[in-house]
Structure 1
């Protein structure tokens, strides 16, 4: 596998964050959408999800997952892409718009992504704390017979 450039890695992380974002929250943070031209209208399809035994073994087909994708351009020609889980076409459109705006270097889009990133960190922390509360410590008591 080839190494990614820092720009490619940043875009991959950004697209992952947008795909994991709550669609309702994304619409709330970004109610207005800038002018754009749709190259590939949001469309729903399926992708094969692959897994690996023990995270390092031979790959196998785990199953299919529903995905919605979208590609668009801003008025200046900057292209944005998005793939999101599920059938939410609005989510895919907003994610593609934010991707294009970030490719263009939009500071406001950067603030939206930072908000989404902080909210994701808080969600993960809350889930980790909830899981930690159910943790059980097992220990063995030494019997005096030996």
Structure 2
């Protein structure tokens, strides 16, 4: 059995993955799995809430499009996904990967060949973004002239 933190990690990597990259990694695995759609991928909205300074009163920041899906493998294991955006195929593939990652027979292979490459890609993209931001950073300073009383 896998801990809640482990499952949260792999579900976060799947949800944040670029759909084309996930599909390419999935095809390379050449897995043929029979499953049933419990909840076919569907698109909806969710409200985003925020707090000023992370401590203030909560307010509605806006709406965001999400796609969700639920599948069931032949052995009864359920896979779930919620992704940002409107890509139904991506949501269904994420749900299928979630279900298979819960299976001991597939877990290690999927971790090594799917989740780890997606996590490495996301870390690389975050570092690239951080470097771009750092390159455009402007340090402001105030020059004090004499005694202004």
Post-superposition offset of 1:141: 4.6
Q: CA RMSD in A?
A: 1.7
In structure 2, how many angstroms separate the alpha carbons of the residues matched to 1:51 and 1:142?
38
| Length-normalised TM-score, structure 2 | 0.85
In structure 2, how many angstroms separate the alpha carbons of the residues matched to 1:78 and 1:90?
20
**Equivalence for 2:15:** 19
Q: Residues 24 and 140 (structure 1 numbering): CA distance in 2 closer, same or farther, change over 3 Å? A: same
In structure 1, how many angstroms separate the alpha carbons of the residues matched to 2:15 and 2:38?
19
Give the secondary structure class of the aligned counterpart of 1:25: helix
Give unmatched runs, 5+ long, in structure 1. 1-5
**Equivalence for 1:28:** 24
Q: How many aligned residue pairs are there?
A: 140
Give unmatched runs, 5+ long, in structure 2. none
In structure 2, how many angstroms separate the alpha carbons of the residues matched to 1:126 and 1:67?
26
| Length-normalised TM-score, structure 1 | 0.87
Post-superposition offset of 1:116: 0.3
Post-superposition offset of 1:65: 1.0
User: Residues 72-93 of structure 1: CA distance to partner in whole angstroms, max 9, x if unpaired?
Assistant: 1122211110001111001001
